[in-house]
Every structure is written in structure tokens, then in C-alpha cells.
A = this chain, B = another copy of it.
Amino acid sequence: MTSSRIQNLFDIHIPIIQAGMVWCSGWRLASAVSEAGGLGLIGAGSMHPETLQEHIRKCKATTSKPFGVNVPLLYPEVDKIMKILVHEHIKIVFTSAGNPSLWTGYLKEQGITVVHVVSSAKFARKSEQAGVDAIVAEGFEAGGHNGREETTTLCLIPMVCDAVSIPVIAAGGIASGKAILAVEALGAEGVQIGTLFAVSLESSAHEAFKNKIIELNEGDTALTMKQLTPVRLIKNEFYQRILKAEQQGASAEELQKLLGRGRAKKGIFEGDLIEGELEIGQAAASIKEVKPASQIVYELWNEYHSAIRHLIK
């Protein structure tokens, strides 16, 4: 990945993108990752428009390097958000959770580089047709909201790379230099990493949430609420309640009522490990420490180069 199209597209040195995650990815995290040579993303999904504006300004004030903003297209105030991005001269926008044809044209007209997040080759093709500059292809093992196809990163990346000619960024289950090399072998030209950065020092997640993650073992997360929008969560008390309701034949309406509102904030930002919706990826089982984001970037990049040397020795 040392001379990939991803570095040129974003003008970055290291093709590691920090995912724009709700309640984790404010200006502190995005700025730290960009300063380290990767691409930091502010996650607009958990911000009011004016909060986002403040984060963008603080990010600009703390790094002169490129950073971007992730916008879930189903966000209720997406019009306001897009106006702020243009007004603040944001150069890179990652869109997710919605139809790429809605906003790509508008953003491209403003000279913005646009990347769309997909979980299938079918939507990768649609995104390319909509004019995006690159694709994030995210597998089943990723944390948070996820595709209905349940295709894993190992199966997804080669199919997406076959489907499009624009660069593909792999996401889901990547938390080591070996995993970066693995997805490169599959055809990816960059990686988007969430879970590992959610646990970083600069993540705005609650300390209790970070401490919970570094104690997780294999099998401690699950993709749930498939009747609503599938989401990968830690199997806490709230998850168990959803599971029980599903096994007793709960309808989508009943599940929606159980879910209520604001549970991701409650869990990730406020640290309520019992009632919160604790979104995190399978890779959590391999993370044992809270580290500064810059250290994470450097260690990943060193591990990646060691992995190459090990492979060709």
C-alpha cells in the first residue's frame, strides 16, 4: 500500500483511515490521526449541526493536515450538515447509511472528494455510478450498523474490487498490521479502522466503555436487531433483553419500543454498560490496551511492514 491511489486521493502518507464513529470521533481523535499521517474523520452522526461546526473548527485549529467528515445520509438534518461542510471548506466527505446518488453530485460540484460506505458489491457498483471517488467496503465483523448480507470482509473485498475500478478501502475486523496486509492481498488499497480507534485515548467514548472493550473475549459481540437495522453490539444486559424478545417472537414495532431513543449515547458516551447500546466490532477481542491514536497509527504501519517482510522472507 506504499504507493496507492488512496494516499494521492486524500494527500496522506499512511492509507489508514479512522472511521467516523458516533460518540467516539470528535475533533480530538480526527486531529490526532491526521497529525500522525493517516486520515481522521469527524463523525457527524452523533452531532447537532452547530456541534459539528465547532468540531470542524477545532480540528482545523489543531492540524494543518487533511481530515474529513463522515455523514450518515439518513441523518434528520442532513441538508444543514451538508451546507456546513461546504461553508467550512471541508475537502473530504465519507457518506454512509443511505443512497449515494442523493448527495454525491452536489458535493462533487463543490470540489469535495466523496467516499461512500457499502456492504455489498451491488452497492459498490451503484456508488461508482453515482460518481464517488472511492468505496469503503465494510464486512460483517465491523461494529455498529452493518449490512443485511452479512458478508465478511474476507469474502466482500475481492467481490467489491472486481465490481468497481475506483479504489477500495477495506473495513471490518482490521486491528493489526497483519490484517492490513491481508486485505491488501485481497485487493484493498487502504483500510478504515473503527474499533481500535474507539478505544484510543483521544476517543470521546466514556472510560467505562473503553475499559469494557479491552476486557472482551471472542464471541462477546453479536449482530442483532436484524428486523430493524442490523447493528453489532457487546452482549450486555440490553442486548440480552433484545435477544429474549426476538426469541419470543417480538415484532419490529415491539423491538423499536424496547430500543427507544438515545441508547448509543447512553452506552458509549455516558458509560451505561447495562442499558446502553454498546456498538463495537469483533476485533475488540484482540485489543488489550488504551493507547494514543498516534501510537496506534505508527504501530499498525510498522506491523504492516514487518508482516510484508515476514511474508516474503
- Interface flags for A199-236 (1: CB within 8 Å of B; 0: not) read 00000000000000000011100110001000000000
Segment of A79-87, A88-96, A148-156 in the binding face:
A148-156
Neighbouring B residues of A47 by C-beta, 8 Å: none
In angstroms, Cα B249 to Cα A185, docked, is: 43
Q: Which of B149, B153, B185, B222 contacts A307 (CB 8 A)?
A: B185
CB of A152 within 8 A of CB of B149, answer: no
Q: Which residues of B contact A292 (CB under 8 A)?
A: none
Is A154 touching B154 in the complex (CB atoms < 8 A)? yes
Residues of B within 8 A of A249 (CB): 247-250
Chain B positions within 8 Å of A147 at CB level: 219
Q: A120-B219, A149-B219, A219-B148 are in contact. Are A182 and B154 (CB under 8 A)?
A: yes
Select from chain B the residue with minimum beta-carbon distance to A140: B152
Would you list which residues of chain A between 129 and 186 have a CB under 8 Å from chain B? 139-141, 147-156, 158-159, 172-174, 176, 178-179, 181-186
CB contact between A176 and one of B140, B158, B223 (< 8 Å): that residue: B158
Given A184-B311, A186-B178, A227-B247, check contact A141 B158 (CB 8 Å).
no
CB pair B186 A158 closer than 8 Å: no
**Chain A residues with a Cβ under 8 A of chain B:** 120-122, 139-141, 147-156, 158-159, 172-174, 176, 178-179, 181-187, 217-219, 222-223, 227, 246-250, 282-283, 285-286, 307-308, 311-312
